[in-house]
Amino acid sequence: MKTDAALKSDVIHELAWDTTIDSTAIGVAVHHGVVTLTGTVASWAQKHAIEEATCRVAGVRDLANDIEIKACWSTTHTDAEIAEAVRNALAWDRLVPDQQIRSVVADMGTVTLSGTVRTLAERDEAERAIRSLDGVRCVVNHLAVEGPQVAAESLRTTITEALARRAVREGAHIAVAVDGDTVVITGNVASWTERRAVVGAARGTPGVRRIDDRLRVG
């Protein structure tokens, strides 16, 4: 297991290596294995990119992303321009049901999504499709998942089969429980990549409206 100093050094080097990130205004602190990110960035997309880069580092088990978004006002688009760009982005993305999604843009770049989708994966994809747009400072995702009601045992089987297809580590290390439309996932995984694969399997399953992720990395 890495020391806090070693983990901090690896995170700093990973952020510096990633050419899509400006890491000069980002602070990294590590205490008892928990990584905390601070500083300011110009966009919602930058904040997520820094978070993803940090999670790539081996040994990162827990992360607090306290980075603030402060757009460069000299290049900010109007809310009307951003709203048009949001609608176009949703319409071009075939992974989201754009006709079922409404967007409201206010306060110079805050986008609120509402409406219904079939899975949590579609909910996430709608946000991903717009968070990189120029001028978007924040995305408030109020999309509701309205998939079909599925029996608990059927839901558990579907998720377990998805994990097997994705070659996730031995199923004995991961337990999937279903409580109504909530999936509870417990166990240990080797990395954040493996954790995303496990949670992603549940997010793409119709009938799952909430996920209680209790997985531990390491």
* Per-position DSSP letters for 154-180, written without gaps between them: HHHHHHHHHHHHTT-S-GGGEEEEEET
pLDDT value at 64 more than 90: yes
Strand order in the sheet with 210-217: 174-179, 182-189, 210-217
The tokens describing 151, both together, are: 């029996």
CATH class of the domain at 77-145: alpha beta
pLDDT value at 164 more than 80: no
pLDDT value at 91 more than 60: yes
**Which pLDDT belongs to residue 155?**
73
Domain spans in the chain, listed from the N-terminal domain onward: 4-69, 77-145, 152-217
Phi, psi of 42 (to 5 degrees): -90, -10
Q: Where is pLDDT greater, at 157 or 123?
A: 123
Residue appearing with tokens 């009307």:
80
**Which pLDDT belongs to residue 13?**
92
| CA 204 – CA 2 distance, rounded (Å) | 33
The tokens describing 59, both together, are: 């040994």
Percent of the chain with pLDDT over 70: 94
Architecture of domain 152-217: 2-Layer Sandwich (3.30)
Q: Where is pLDDT greater, at 164 or 25?
A: 25
Q: Does domain 4-69 have CATH number 3.30.1340.30?
A: yes
H or E element at residue 84: helix 79-92
